[in-house]
Amino acid sequence: MGEGEELIHTFLDAAADMDREDLLESLARVPGCYVPGLSGHLPLTAMVDGGRLPARSQILTRNTVLSSMFLVEAERGCSRGCTYCVMRRTTNGGMRLVPPETVLSSVPEHARRVGLVGAAVTDHPGIKKIVRGIVDAGRGIGISSLRADRLDAELVTLLARGGYRTLTTASDGASQRLRSLVARRTTEQHLIRAAELTKKCGLHRLKLYQLIGLPTETHDDIDELVRFSRELAAIVSVSLAISPFVSKRNTPLDGFDFEPITSVNQKLARLRAGLKGKVELRSTSARWAWVEYMLSQCDERAGLAAMDAWRAGGTFSAWENAFTTRDARPLRGRVVPDGRRNLPLPVVQSSTGTGALRPVDG
């Protein structure tokens, strides 16, 4: 569990020398390994020495999603604290930076496109130096994550030179109230500025990632999203990529319910009606987001259900049946530990004793 660069050697050495039973016994005691039934606790997640960074592509081929793009990790982790996010600063020591010179020198001569990977690449203090080095060498650029409050004309111009046509960033809260609630530091001013820079620097479109179904969200929040998206669309072409909120383990929002599928669909319909003809809208299906929620929030029974669902054809009803048959239910009422504390194995509560929901403020 966690970062595998060092653990993989422990694992392979043990696998080469031992039979299955001894292997599981021995791995159950290794920090970062979890063996169901043998490990007494969920282990601390593994963290590699910073000297091992950056991870980078070993093979360049057209036959990948990011065709022929050389990927290099400019940083690992994030220094921010959005309460829904598994990459927040309490995960594995926060943000580890790779010096710009190391990133640039890792790019092979033949790479024509370079993708900078990391949870919060634009928070890297040397981001412009890295992007400039790549673009000045005549290469295309891709960045896995742009933070709206880190964008300025210099950076967006460099991205445009590197082939960017769509500026993608995240809002992750239908309203300012919700963004504040989940400690997402993006404001309307940041997003308006992002729209203006998109236009000014000759890009075609602003794409925004957006969560719906966050705790306490109402139709008023959705209406604010409609109003604000229309304002952005008056500046530049806008598309929204919507994901229903799924609470994740070991985050302050761990344990929060998934909004009922019908309610998510009503909100999506309200958004579509309000943005029709003005803003392009794409959404992850509420039903598949619910499957993701069950896998995120149930115990090992959800893993067995996944096997059953796959064997039964992988349709949504196959997943529903599998969760029911395996009696997989979300864990409730747990106090969420912060950071790298050792977690006790979760215990499934009975349907009559779910306990109070106690999210912990991050």
Which of 72, 116, 120, 212 binds ligand SF4 (CB under 6 A)? It is 120
If the CB atoms of residues 133 and 213 are measured against ligand SF4, the closer one turns out to be: 213
d(CA 144, CA 122): 9
The beta-carbon contacts of 152-159 under 8 Å, at least 24 apart in sequence, are: 152/197, 153/197, 153/200, 153/201, 154/128, 155/122, 155/127, 155/128, 155/131, 156/197, 156/198, 156/200, 156/201, 156/203, 157/201, 158/128, 158/131, 158/132, 159/131, 159/201, 159/203
Q: CB under 6 A: which stretch of 85-93, 195-203, 213-221, 312-320 binds ligand SF4?
A: 85-93
If the CB atoms of residues 133 and 252 are measured against ligand SF4, the closer one turns out to be: 252
d(CA 121, CA 135): 16
d(CA 130, CA 100): 5
Which of 7, 69, 71, 78 binds ligand SF4 (CB under 6 A)? It is 78
Least distance in Å: CB of 185 to ligand SF4? 8
If the CB atoms of residues 104 and 120 are measured against ligand SF4, the closer one turns out to be: 120
Can residue 275 be called a binding residue for ligand SF4 (CB under 6 A)?
A: no
Least distance in Å: CB of 77 to ligand SF4? 8
Can residue 119 be called a binding residue for ligand SF4 (CB under 6 A)?
A: yes
If the CB atoms of residues 78 and 127 are measured against ligand SF4, the closer one turns out to be: 78
Can residue 88 be called a binding residue for ligand SF4 (CB under 6 A)?
A: yes
Q: CB under 6 A: which stretch of 40-48, 74-82, 149-157, 233-241 binds ligand SF4?
A: 74-82
DSSP state of 47: -
If the CB atoms of residues 78 and 195 are measured against ligand SF4, the closer one turns out to be: 78
d(CA 254, CA 258): 11
Q: CB under 6 A: which stretch of 5-13, 19-27, 75-83, 233-241 binds ligand SF4?
A: 75-83
If the CB atoms of residues 95 and 222 are measured against ligand SF4, the closer one turns out to be: 95
Structure tokens at 360: 């912990």
Q: CB under 6 A: which stretch of 58-66, 81-89, 249-257, 274-282 binds ligand SF4?
A: 81-89
Q: What is the helix (H) or strand (E) element at residue 238, kind and residue range?
A: strand 237-244
In the chain, the N- to C-terminal Cα span, in Å, equals: 22
Listed in sequence order, the residues at least 6 apart from 170 whose beta carbon sits closer than 8 Å to its beta carbon are 145, 147, 148, 184, 186, 208, 209, 210
Which of 69, 71, 85, 195 binds ligand SF4 (CB under 6 A)? It is 85
Can residue 336 be called a binding residue for ligand SF4 (CB under 6 A)?
A: no
Q: What is the helix (H) or strand (E) element at residue 273, kind and residue range?
A: helix 261-275
Least distance in Å: CB of 246 to ligand SF4? 13
Q: DSSP string spanning 188-222?
A: HHHHHHHHHHHHHTT--EEEEEEEE--TT--HHHH
Listed in sequence order, the residues at least 6 apart from 21 whose beta carbon sits closer than 8 Å to its beta carbon are none
Can residue 253 be called a binding residue for ligand SF4 (CB under 6 A)?
A: no
If the CB atoms of residues 88 and 329 are measured against ligand SF4, the closer one turns out to be: 88
Can residue 124 be called a binding residue for ligand SF4 (CB under 6 A)?
A: no
Q: Give the interface with ligand SF4 as residue ranges (CB under 6 A).
A: 78, 80, 82, 85, 87-88, 119-120
